[in-house]
């Protein structure tokens, strides 16, 4: 082991606040804490009140709680100290300056605490990503997904597949090592079954329609309809602010206007679009092309019409599985005839908006919750899983066991990239050790 820098950084946002937490990690954390408090280290993991003074000149810095987490039982696996300071700029700056003057201490790079935790084997990469997701989570559903991933659910799923493939590889390699005897037929069958099982599981996981990624980024909902139906008015009502221009002039909206929302705990990105109609205006026509594009890309389409007008004839506005249909302005047309699936609303009076929100939330939830198994959450994972699936697809028809083994290795390496465990050879040694094939 080489001696490492000791890093420190505020764990709370800069600026004024009740409490600011400063964290230190590395071999110098203990000596630094002792130097600041001028006493022996406190009992591990017990919040202890202490006077903090500048080790250089004894100038008082703050009075606050300090915590001591000796490695390896800490977040980073190293010695960690935490200072709970009064949350003022001068206090934090003073302590940071004092720490900077100590030998072997330096400010942490972004993500460096979690990076050290990963290197110490405290977290796999999916869990490290979950830490970032949890910090960024803005809705209840995002928080729950990140917590599940942080708990290792996703990493365990991928590691489970890796273990299965590792076994299949060990069996295939055994056939190479003992060519005279050949692989006992039951082992060959088991290896084949393992590969088929993992391939099917990966295909299922890839096929979940981007559920987890959607939960991170938001479900995309496009508001579509004829001019003046009240699309922009509805966007503003749902966003509770004047995000889009509303006017009684048909063709007001030209550009797509997006608003990110927390919809009953689910993240959505709502897009207002240009009203659909035949037009000679070039700019409006471009806006309408963008509406059509948005309609095609959206996860859900919210199609809105004026209740007093006929249902729109544009095929982009027809019914469909991902369409929610709305008749607006019922304040002006209380006796309007509605289709069975249409929700009557008035953006002006607020009537029906709760029912619309219920319907939207239900559609979004359906889109986001699959069978409850951990969802694929990142494009990075998807790319690696596609690589693994490609390699596995070649295994059953490999003309030589050497080539099957090579493809299994490729698949293992791809899966290992997701969790950050790429030690195929080590694991193979271990497996071989426990693997009884008669020699």
Ligand X SMILES: Nc1nc2c(ncn2[C@@H]2O[C@H](COP(=O)(O)OP(=O)(O)OP(=O)(O)O)[C@@H](O)[C@H]2O)c(=O)[nH]1
Note the residues at the interface with K ion (CB under 5 A).
228, 252
The annotation status of 328 as a binding-site residue, yes or no, is no
Rounded Cα–Cα distance for residues 302 and 309 (Å): 17
According to DSSP, the β-strands at 300-306 and 219-224 are: parallel
Q: Which segments of 286-393 are extended strands (E)?
A: 300-306, 323-328, 342-344
Site for Mg ion in 208-237 (CB under 5 A): 231-232
273 is in an annotated binding site: yes
Q: Which does 346 bind (CB under 5 to 8 A by kind): Mg ion, K ion, ligand X, none?
A: ligand X
Asked whether position 228 contacts ligand X by CB under 6 A, the answer is: yes
Cβ nearer to Mg ion, comparing 76 with 253? 253
Contacted by 370, from Mg ion, K ion, ligand X, none: CB < 5 to 8 Å by type? none
User: Does 142 engage in binding with ligand X (CB under 6 A)?
Assistant: no
Both tokens assigned to 264? 């009953």
Taking CB under 6 A as the binding criterion, the range among 72-80, 244-252, 405-413, 431-439 that sits at the site for ligand X is 244-252
d(C-alpha 268, C-alpha 312), whole Å? 25
Q: Provide the minimum distance between the beta carbon of 323 and ligand X in the complex, in angstroms, as a whole number.
A: 17
Q: Within 10 A of 52 (CB to CB), how many other CB atoms are there? A: 22
Question: 375 in helix, strand or coil?
Answer: coil
359 burial type by CB count under 10 A (0-12 exposed, 13-18 middle, 19+ buried): middle
**Residue 306, helix vs strand vs coil:** strand
Are the beta carbons of 172 and 405 closer than 8 angstroms? yes
Residues 253-282 as x/- pattern, contact with Mg ion by CB under 5 A: x-----------------------------
Under rule CB under 6 A, residue 230 binds ligand X: yes
The nearer residue to Mg ion, 138 or 255, going by C-beta atoms, is 255
Q: Which residues contact 83 (CB under 8 A, 6 or more apart)?
A: 21, 22, 23, 24, 33, 36, 52, 64, 65, 66, 95
The verdict on 253 binding ligand X (CB under 6 A) reads: yes
Binding flag, residue 287, ligand X (CB under 6 A): no
Query: Kind of pairing, strands 17-25 and 6-10?
Result: antiparallel
Closer of 228 and 236 to K ion (Cβ): 228
Give the residues lining the site for Mg ion (CB under 5 A).
231-232, 252-253
Give the residues lining the site for ligand X (CB under 6 A).
227-233, 246-248, 250-253, 274-275, 328-329, 331-332, 346-348
């Amino acid at each position: 082991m080489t001696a490492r820098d000791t890093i420190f950084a505020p764990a709370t946002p800069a600026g004024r606040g009740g409490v600011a937490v400063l964290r230190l990690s590395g071999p110098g954390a203990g000596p630094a804490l002792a130097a600041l408090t001028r006493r022996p280290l406190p009992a591990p993991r017990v919040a202890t009140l202490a006077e903090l003074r500048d080790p250089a000149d004894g100038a008082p810095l703050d009075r606050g709680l300090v915590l001591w987490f000796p490695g390896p039982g800490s977040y980073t696996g190293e010695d960690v100290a935490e200072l709970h300071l009064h949350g003022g700029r001068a206090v934090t700056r003073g302590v940071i300056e004092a720490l900077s003057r100590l030998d072997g201490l330096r400010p942490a790079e972004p993500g460096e605490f979690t990076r050290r935790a990963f290197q110490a084997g405290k977290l796999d990469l999916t869990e490290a990503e979950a830490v970032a997701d949890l910090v960024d989570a803005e809705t209840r559903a995002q928080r729950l997904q990140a917590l599940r991933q942080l708990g290792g659910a996703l990493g365990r799923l991928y590691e489970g597949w890796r273990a299965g493939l590792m076994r299949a590889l060990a069996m295939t390699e055994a056939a190479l090592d003992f060519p005279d005897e050949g692989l006992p037929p039951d082992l060959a069958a088991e290896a084949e079954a393992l590969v088929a099982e993992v391939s099917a599981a990966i295909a299922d996981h890839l096929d979940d329609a981007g559920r987890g990624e959607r939960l991170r980024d938001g479900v995309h909902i496009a508001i579509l309809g004829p001019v003046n139906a009240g699309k922009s008015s509805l966007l503003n009502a749902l966003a509770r602010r004047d995000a889009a221009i509303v006017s009684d002039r048909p063709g007001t909206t030209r550009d797509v206007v997006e608003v990110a929302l927390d919809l009953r705990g689910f993240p959505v990105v709502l897009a207002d679009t240009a009203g659909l109609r035949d037009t000679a205006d070039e700019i409006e026509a471009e806006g309408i092309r963008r509406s059509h594009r948005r309609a095609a890309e959206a996860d859900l389409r919210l199609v809105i019409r004026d209740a007093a007008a006929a249902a729109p004839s544009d095929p982009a506005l027809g019914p469909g599985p991902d369409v929610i249909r709305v008749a607006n302005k019922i304040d002006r047309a209380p006796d309007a005839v509605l289709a069975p699936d249409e929700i009557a609303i008035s953006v002006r009076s607020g009537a029906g908006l709760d029912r619309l929100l219920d319907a939207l939330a239900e559609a979004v939830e359906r889109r986001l919750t699959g069978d409850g198994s951990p969802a694929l959450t990142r494009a990075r994972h998807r790319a690696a899983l596609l690589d693994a699936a490609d390699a596995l697809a070649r295994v059953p028809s490999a003309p030589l066991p050497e080539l099957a083994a090579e493809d299994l290795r490729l698949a293992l390496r791809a899966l290992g990239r997701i969790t950050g465990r790429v030690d195929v050879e080590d694991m193979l040694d271990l497996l071989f050790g426990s693997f009884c094939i008669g020699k």
